[in-house]
Structure 1
Amino acid sequence: MYDSFRPGQVWLDTEGKRIQAHGGSVIYVDGIYYWYGENKEFTDGTNDVWTYGIRFYRSNDLYNWEDLGLVIPPDTEDENSPLNPTNCMLDRPHIIYNERTEKYVCWVKIMHKEGHQDEAVLTADKITGPYTLVNQGIRPLGMSAGDFDLAVAEDGKAYYYFERVHSETICADLNEEYTDVTGFYSAHFPHPHPPYVREATAHLFHKHKHYLLTSGTSGYLPNPSEVAVADSWHGPYMVLGDPHPEDVSHTSFHSQISCIFKVEGTKDLYIAAADRWCPDCMDLDYEFYAKVYDKLFSGTEEEKSRIRQMPEFSRIDDMGRNTSIADYVWLPIRFVEACEEYPQGMVFIDWKDEWRWQDYVGK
């Protein structure tokens, strides 16, 4: 039994197995927390399995998680299914509840072995499923969509924040069923190429402000996060900087944020839940590899060829092959009100070797 969070340490479920809920999120339903994400138990580098379904866990205290199994199992029979674990690579499941239709709606990013990627949508009557595939092959707004987050306003309107691959961040309105986009959107944070393009967007609404926490695009190599703020869903967003002020490695404490959620029963405690995709690669120098990524996308063909022959490049190529041992970094968010030093306020994430959410009750 756990009674605290221990960021970066191996986290086991109530049966003593590694928790496999990567790139996912936490949702609170009827007094219970549910944590779901990519099941990486077979992604050990010895096969072609990227994700083997979506695994679900539940907890009453956020520390101890019971494995509920594969809430969205892989489709091993239909080779053309977006849930096929051999031909498709499933990423970043996010679930929201539609009060009007009384459906839980799950979006997933699908990367195809042929090189293109799109989205698929599933719905269920209960948070625990079963989930039915209702839309697939979505190229939102005719764009190639990468990592994303979903968010619902108080009036029931839903929004979809995604990385327009290797380009910019898009905020798109969802339709009334939350199963597709409407066509209305706004664009933010344009960059010429990785590693500067923003991905893995996590939306946070706090005291009438909208915050977007994003990661740079450098594969499984961790990089500096960035926080931006706006007064409305579509912005415009103002970049505030890196929320990890103590992190001298400039790697977001060697992790990538997948979601932000509020702890029930607390006044203002939000947790940034992140994945430490490669625990064995914490010695890598981000500044060096950022320059490598830059040249891979902006350099001449001669420069790109020379980079691919570098011994250091093989470490980039190997990263992510074994994510079955990926760990988690859950840390509390600290808000700074607008002041002379931070005219727009600021969001910070401080390192803690061990912490308890109960210490924040009433704060």
Structure 2
Amino acid sequence: MVGCQTSQKKNMVASEIVSGEIWNDTDGNPINAHGGGILYHEGTYYWYGEYKIGKTVLPEWATWECFRTDVSGVSCYSSRDLSTWKFEGLVLPAVKNDTLHDLHPSQVLERPKVVYNTTTKKFVMWMHIDSPDYLKAAAGVAVSDSPVGPFTYLGSFRPNNAMSRDQTVFVDDNGKAYHFYSSEDNKTMYISELTSDYLKPNGHFTRNFIGMSREAPAVFKYNGKYYLLSSGCTGWDPNQAELAVADSIMGPWTIIGNPCVGKDADKTFYAQSTFVLPVHGMNNAYIAMFDRWKKTNLQDSRYIWLPLSIANDGSITIPWRERWKLDEVFK
């Protein structure tokens, strides 16, 4: 297996993952899937993300750096080797003719994640839905019969009657799904068990990291324990990542500290967590996915993918690597 395309030359496949460079799809266009996550299904990886295109603006009324582009929708790319990525299109496009719709270009759509429900045979997308002033603070849900869409939007709500902003969804080995989301003005992280169809909360939730202001959650499971990678809340500006561990997914969680190691580790390599991907078919192989946001040109934000390093004693770090190959790191 090889790394992502990183050359700006069209149709050139690189054998390495080179963080911070432009990664092109099979058509030679830059991959546009920000704040995203990856679903592995029947031999194929599907990468979903925010499709950002057009001018980045700072609204005249802004009292903080809420730089934004118009909502275009959620993109999807497919790959069988984590190297060549085919653009599958906008699987959940913006709704341009209804100014009151959650998916209107004037609104906010962030951090889409897709999971597969083996019982209903549906692909379920959760995302952060917001108003331009970020006061709506809701979660949106969409479903599809196919990983490449089209997804049908079901609407938005505040799960467990609480704010929901940066978020992710995790499916455990037993098929139960959980929604992680920054709440209470981003001061507290909620973990909410979902109903068996993954479409809404089932009422069982916990409040975690109370008053610690964590966002950008990324969850993975290793050796029977649950791990949560997150960032602090400093707007578009980078900060120190944090890793926490728990024996139960609902907590309590124990903070381990900053897992990043090497140049600019105290700034999370000038990036922010979005997802941790287990590499299929490889033991204890995980890729930490980050976004390196360009707040004044969000369309040109880049991707940082780094392998987790798991020591013999089970400790986990994320060392900086400018370039690396899957088959050399994971053996």
* Residue of structure 2 in register with 1:123 after alignment: 143
The percentage of aligned residue pairs carrying the same residue is 33
Does residue 109 in structure 1 map to residue 128 in structure 2? Answer: yes
1:249 is displaced (CA, Å) by: 5.6
The TM-score with structure 1 as length reference comes to 0.81
1:238 is displaced (CA, Å) by: 0.4
Structure 2 contact 71–103 (Cα < 8 Å) conserved: no
**What amino acid is aligned across from residue 234 of structure 2 in structure 1?**
S
Partner deviation per Cα, 1:260-288 (whole Å, 9 max, x = no partner): 1111221121000111002xxxxxxxxxx
Partner deviation per Cα, 1:146-182 (whole Å, 9 max, x = no partner): 1111111222211111111332111111111111111
1:50 is displaced (CA, Å) by: 3.8
* Residue of structure 1 in register with 2:169 after alignment: 150
Unaligned runs of 5+ in 2: 1-12, 60-67
Does residue 32 in structure 1 map to residue 44 in structure 2? Answer: yes
- Supply the RMSD in Å over aligned alpha carbons: 1.7
Does residue 92 in structure 1 map to residue 67 in structure 2? Answer: no
* Residue of structure 2 in register with 1:331 after alignment: 306
Does residue 358 in structure 1 map to residue 323 in structure 2? Answer: no
Structure 1 contact 271–330 (Cα < 8 Å) conserved: yes
* Residue of structure 1 in register with 2:182 after alignment: 163
Structure 1 contact 2–64 (Cα < 8 Å) conserved: no
Whole-Å separation in 2 of the counterparts to 1:43 and 1:27: 29
1:41 is displaced (CA, Å) by: 1.9
1:82 is displaced (CA, Å) by: 1.0
Partner deviation per Cα, 1:222-266 (whole Å, 9 max, x = no partner): 111000001111111100000112244611001111101111221
The secondary structure found in structure 2 opposite 1:146 is coil
Correspondence for 2:268 among 252, 256, 260:
252
1:1-363 aligned within 5 A? 1-45=13-57, 49-86=69-106, 88-113=107-132, 115-134=135-154, 136-164=155-183, 165-191=185-211, 196-248=212-264, 250-278=266-294, 320-338=295-313, 345-361=314-330, 363=331
Equivalenced residue count is 309
Q: Computing the radius of gyration over CA atoms, which structure comes out larger, 1 or 2?
A: 1
More helix by share: 1
Unaligned runs of 5+ in 1: 279-319, 339-344
The secondary structure found in structure 2 opposite 1:201 is strand
The secondary structure found in structure 1 opposite 2:227 is strand
1:116 is displaced (CA, Å) by: 2.1
Structure 2 contact 38–46 (Cα < 8 Å) conserved: yes
Structure 1 contact 40–323 (Cα < 8 Å) conserved: yes
Structure 1 contact 336–346 (Cα < 8 Å) conserved: yes
